[in-house]
Amino acid sequence: MAQSVKGMRDLFGAELRWFQHIEETARRCFERHGYREIRTPILEELEVFKRSVGDSSDIVKKEMYDFEDKGGRHVVMRPENTAGVVRAAIQHKLLTSSDPVLFYYIGPQFRYERMQTGRYRQFWQIGAESFGVASPESDAESLVMLYDFLRELGLAKLTFSLNSVGTPESRPAFQAAFRAFFAARQERFCGDCHRRIEENPLRVLDCKVPTCQAALEGHPLISDFLDEGSLRHHARLKELLSELGVPFTEDPRLVRGLDYYTKTAFEVLSGDIGAQSAILGGGRYDLLVKHLGGPDVPAFGWAIGLDRLAMVLQQVRGEAPQTPPALLIPLGERAATEALKLARDLWKAGVALQLETRGGALKKALASANRLGIQTVLILGDGELDAGTVTVKHMATGEQESWPLSEVSKRLGGLSLD
């Protein structure tokens, strides 16, 4: 029997309903803020990610699905979407005016990494990117949108973990101090960290190996080496979040895993399912657009994994919110014909309605309605057709009543059939 490829999965049932609910909530929330959706290809040129994510990143070195296509081009199945959005914005000259440009995206990404709970090799992300504004107010607007989105989904125990990673100009002094710290205890760090210390010392702080985390105790803090502009930006952002009631803490080890971050870096921690754990992250990347060949445009963004978010919400809230359709059951051949006509009119009027087409006993159809969680059942037989009515059974109470056929659409929340 054929099986799905390892790390790839099918989505259906309760989990898919959570995906759909999250996506609908995201679109509603983000578009209130003026963000508009963008969709980029799954395949991108390799250079898009080597130049943005960085040659030294684990994504580029270990995790990308990359190959030569039939035309000899070296392409990548996108491992994240910020770089693709920036490439699209540059290619289509979307960043040439002085106006802010606000995008969000929803779609699959691909990384060949170790399988674990809530993490797959094909995974879905929702992200938001803000271009054209360098102010801490822009950071705060995006973080408030994110906070309200997560709260609207039902997560209550949220904290933003913040740090500033400064600018390229302010990092050499930190890197020198950090390399000296590393050299004094280098035998305690893993092989990957020995590579990282040469390529990008900040990445050592992002290592997840427990012994490396223990060896980092007492390391130099990048916050002690920040330039004046980064310090002012960070202080203003914290002031704004305090005024807006967004809870946050500072984490001097937080650097994120990508090369393109400047100034603000953040993660969101959730305690909704016990001990706090990070559910997403992002930050400011003022140099990325120019680095990829575009204009000198600042930017701020973040991304959240739908797979993990859906898993958390399923544990916290159970079933995804949904309104099952009504069910129309015809009894007999004549009623089946008229039921198709009625159902078509109701669908055109915007009514959510499922039509029973199997024929057979009413009892069997009502049992299906129970299993599907349907609350309103319409029964149409010869007697109802002669009277110009439909029998309505309310499944929660078992009560029945008759509605005139002309009022069915209105009573089910649709447009008038007249």
CATH number at residue 403: 3.40.50.800
List per-residue pLDDT tens for the chain, 418 residues long. Answer: 999 999 899 999 889 999 999 999 999 999 999 999 999 999 999 999 888 776 556 666 678 899 999 999 999 999 999 999 999 999 999 999 999 999 999 999 999 977 777 689 999 999 999 999 999 999 999 999 999 999 999 999 999 999 999 998 888 888 889 899 989 999 999 998 998 888 888 888 888 899 999 999 999 988 889 999 999 999 999 999 999 999 999 998 887 656 668 999 999 999 987 766 889 999 999 999 999 999 999 999 999 999 999 999 998 888 888 878 999 999 999 999 999 999 999 999 999 999 999 988 899 999 999 998 999 999 999 999 999 999 999 999 999 999 999 999 999 987 665 5
Same domain, 286 and 407: no
Q: Which of 317, 336, 367 is the last residue of a domain?
A: 317
Q: What separation in angstroms does the CA of 167 have from each of 144, 188, 191, 228, 229?
A: 24, 29, 27, 10, 9
For residue 208, the model assigns a pLDDT of: 82
For residue 88, the model assigns a pLDDT of: 97
For residue 58, the model assigns a pLDDT of: 63
Q: What is the domain count for the chain?
A: 2
Same domain, 285 and 386: no
Instruction: Tell me, yes or no, whether 253 lies in a domain.
Output: yes
**Measured distance CA(342)–CA(322) in Å, rounded:** 24
Instruction: Tell me, yes or no, whether 198 lies in a domain.
Output: no
Q: Which of 292, 317, 342 is the last residue of a domain?
A: 317
Cβ burial of 72 (10 Å; 0-12, 13-18, 19+) is exposed
Same domain, 143 and 30: yes
Same domain, 20 and 99: yes
For residue 140, the model assigns a pLDDT of: 98
Instruction: Tell me, yes or no, whether 384 lies in a domain.
Output: yes
Pairing between β-strand 101-110 and β-strand 122-131 as defined by DSSP bridges: antiparallel
Token reading at 374: 């349907």
pTM value is 0.87
Looking up residue 240, the CATH number of its domain turns out to be: 3.30.930.10
Same domain, 271 and 345: no
Provide Rg for the chain, Cα atoms: 27
Q: Which of 400, 401, 410, 403 is nearest to 388 (CA)?
A: 403
Sheet holding 264-270, edge to edge: 36-37, 101-110, 122-131, 299-305, 277-284, 264-270, 158-164, 248-250
Same domain, 46 and 154: yes
Instruction: Tell me, yes or no, whether 192 lies in a domain.
Output: no
For residue 138, the model assigns a pLDDT of: 98
**Measured distance CA(322)–CA(303) in Å, rounded:** 25
Same domain, 288 and 160: yes
Same domain, 139 and 273: yes
**Measured distance CA(347)–CA(55) in Å, rounded:** 53
In terms of residue numbers, what domain contains 115?
13-167+227-317
Instruction: Tell me, yes or no, whether 233 lies in a domain.
Output: yes
Same domain, 163 and 278: yes
Same domain, 296 and 332: no
Same domain, 393 and 368: yes
Instruction: Tell me, yes or no, whether 148 lies in a domain.
Output: yes
Instruction: Tell me, yes or no, whether 64 lies in a domain.
Output: yes
Q: Which of 252, 286, 317 is the last residue of a domain?
A: 317
Same domain, 290 and 355: no
